[in-house]
Copies of this chain bind each other. A is one copy, B any other.
């Protein structure tokens, strides 16, 4: 995951015999773009943009006509005027990178970690403002190596992005949750967008041409995109915390949320559609976190991490200057993580339940907000809880003062699940439990709270908000009473956790600086959802006692559908069944490679050494996810021989699909590439 201002040319030359020049790098950088949450690229002279279907899913749904759903039917614009404007999607093109480490550092004069962090942030903010004003570009100061290095990234932002083509989701996400994060894979996770300027297609100076041949096994390929975040600079203490406490707790919350959604759906089939997105998103997170955890419990990887940390600490300790500055950082992080560990049960349970998307209670959230609006409004803005600063307070009030649909059964399930978990984790005499249960079972307490509260009535909420602190203090609504009791408990654990996390962040920044001081750019920085370039090769690997092939073909799509008797999520849209004889089934479909990517890379173009598109990154397999913290060393370069590789299924070059002028939208792509 190399940055474009520090590409490892020598490493590439040595490993692959390829050393791109600055022109190649500039062309690739300018062809790549970033869209909200995902990566993408220009792939035609007329502003056509390639990304994943799942990256433009909301647009595809939003622009659907009333009587149809492009998610189900797919969409292909008949001509330019048929292309549909996507609200909320913009495209950022990285125009330049400038080092600003010295300017940020110069602004840091304080001695405490928290103050230093504020000063760095302020300096970054003023650099960004100055850049925007002088250039008209979108400017971002990126902190690399956890603050070891600061770079100013200047983007040209394109705000008019339109939907051109999207396959049916049954094909784009074929295999659904079971096949997610796995390989061999058989989906077509691609969507085409187009950037417009002045209501006409934009003509980019740089865009990626198409490879006529796709990628061969063992051939050097690059993935150019915006990996979201990795934790490879984390210390062992941070990883131990995630392994033993953080991730298991997160998985428990996902499990709890899925349980609530599924129980609700079992009694109310209409709820299935309502919760579909949440369930999909939680299942995805569950597999991802499961994979991260798998990496943390992999003894070979962790031994590698331990060896690296030992060597790194030895280097720091061997240099008096480094030692004076960074000698204590690892232990300081470990101490803070230990304390976070000891208070984890309280941190997890002293609160108002998980967020709405994780099946939290809407009533409980409203009660908490009513109590907090009353107290926070009285404070100066900077002293408020973060969510209540700036426009936050008014937005929260506005939401509380609008009509809300409350599902009582769901609320009871959500609150009783929250209380059950608290009961399992906290001692019987815990103040949270005393306040919430008051001797009742979780189910009884939830029943009483939901039946007893009047907060589903807008006028009751209005009276409490308009009545201010006095009205809230006087309320005997059972949920307000409970929220008042939880509020101080929650503030206590949150404040302590915040200060511990600030200590960790400040020391992590020191480690980043020490790392950069010790190793320079020979180690790439952790992912920051900014543009990176990652090298690798398509490659078969051992799995389940046999070999996974480096690529799949359309035969495999039809095999997997037939093998599951066409049951969801292995069903095929009607026209994919009807017209399969018009497809050349040996056409490469998905492939897997040793490139290093992670969430945020979705939609990244995969290119060969001629900077031609050979694929489109859309997922990682389970072995690859485990690379979040420690990159398996056996995966670097073409000489890797044994063991699991970090894997990246990618769409093979679409032009091949069109040899038989098969399904219209599959061929739409090269048509546009050649004639528009």
Using a CB–CB distance below 8 Å, which chain A residues touch chain B? Answer: 175, 178-179, 181-182, 184, 217, 287, 540, 543-547, 549-553, 555-556, 558-560, 562-565, 585-586, 621-622
Q: A179-B546, A545-B181 are in contact. Are A563 and B556 (CB under 8 A)?
A: yes
Contact present for A545 and B586 (CB under 8 Å): no
Taking CB as reference atom, which chain B residue is nearest A216? B565
A-B contact list, 12 entries, CB within 8 Å: A217-B565, A543-B544, A544-B544, A544-B622, A545-B622, A549-B563, A549-B564, A552-B563, A555-B555, A555-B558, A555-B562, A559-B559
Task: Please indicate the chain B residues that have their CB under 8 angstroms from the CB of A546 in the complex.
Answer: 175, 178-179, 182
Q: Chain B's nearest CB lies how many Å from the CB of A486?
A: 36
Task: Please indicate the chain B residues that have their CB under 8 angstroms from the CB of A540 in the complex.
Answer: 564
Contact present for A549 and B560 (CB under 8 Å): yes
Task: Please indicate the chain B residues that have their CB under 8 angstroms from the CB of A552 in the complex.
Answer: 559, 563
A178 to B287, CA, bound (A): 27
Q: Chain B's nearest CB lies how many Å from the CB of A564?
A: 5
Task: Please indicate the chain B residues that have their CB under 8 angstroms from the CB of A175 in the complex.
Answer: 546
Task: Please indicate the chain B residues that have their CB under 8 angstroms from the CB of A555 in the complex.
Answer: 555-556, 558-559, 562-563
Q: Chain B's nearest CB lies how many Å from the CB of A292?
A: 14
Our pick among B287, B545, B553 for the contact of A559 (Cβ within 8 Å) is: B553
6 nearest interchain CB pairs?
A549-B563, A555-B559, A556-B559, A182-B546, A545-B622, A182-B545
A546 to B540, CA, bound (A): 18
Task: Please indicate the chain B residues that have their CB under 8 angstroms from the CB of A547 in the complex.
Answer: 178, 564
Q: Chain B's nearest CB lies how many Å from the CB of A211?
A: 17
Q: Chain B's nearest CB lies how many Å from the CB of A381?
A: 47
A547 to B182, CA, bound (A): 10
A184 to B562, CA, bound (A): 13
A622 to B542, CA, bound (A): 14
Task: Please indicate the chain B residues that have their CB under 8 angstroms from the CB of A179 in the complex.
Answer: 546
A564 to B621, CA, bound (A): 19
A460 to B184, CA, bound (A): 60
A184 to B559, CA, bound (A): 11
A558 to B558, CA, bound (A): 10
A549-B563, A555-B558 given; 9 more Cβ-contact pairs under 8 Å: A178-B546, A182-B544, A540-B564, A545-B621, A549-B560, A550-B563, A552-B559, A552-B563, A555-B563
Taking CB as reference atom, which chain B residue is nearest A183? B544
Taking CB as reference atom, which chain B residue is nearest A563? B549
A73 to B265, CA, bound (A): 57
Q: A544-B182, A545-B181 are in contact. Are A585 and B558 (CB under 8 A)?
A: yes
Our pick among B287, B545, B558, B565 for the contact of A545 (Cβ within 8 Å) is: B287
Task: Please indicate the chain B residues that have their CB under 8 angstroms from the CB of A181 in the complex.
Answer: 545
Q: Chain B's nearest CB lies how many Å from the CB of A73?
A: 25
Q: Chain B's nearest CB lies how many Å from the CB of A665?
A: 23
Q: Chain B's nearest CB lies how many Å from the CB of A643?
A: 15
Q: Chain B's nearest CB lies how many Å from the CB of A489?
A: 37
Q: Chain B's nearest CB lies how many Å from the CB of A59?
A: 28
- Listed residue (A175, A287, A560) with the most chain B CB atoms within 10 angstroms of its CB: A560
Task: Please indicate the chain B residues that have their CB under 8 angstroms from the CB of A178 in the complex.
Answer: 546-547
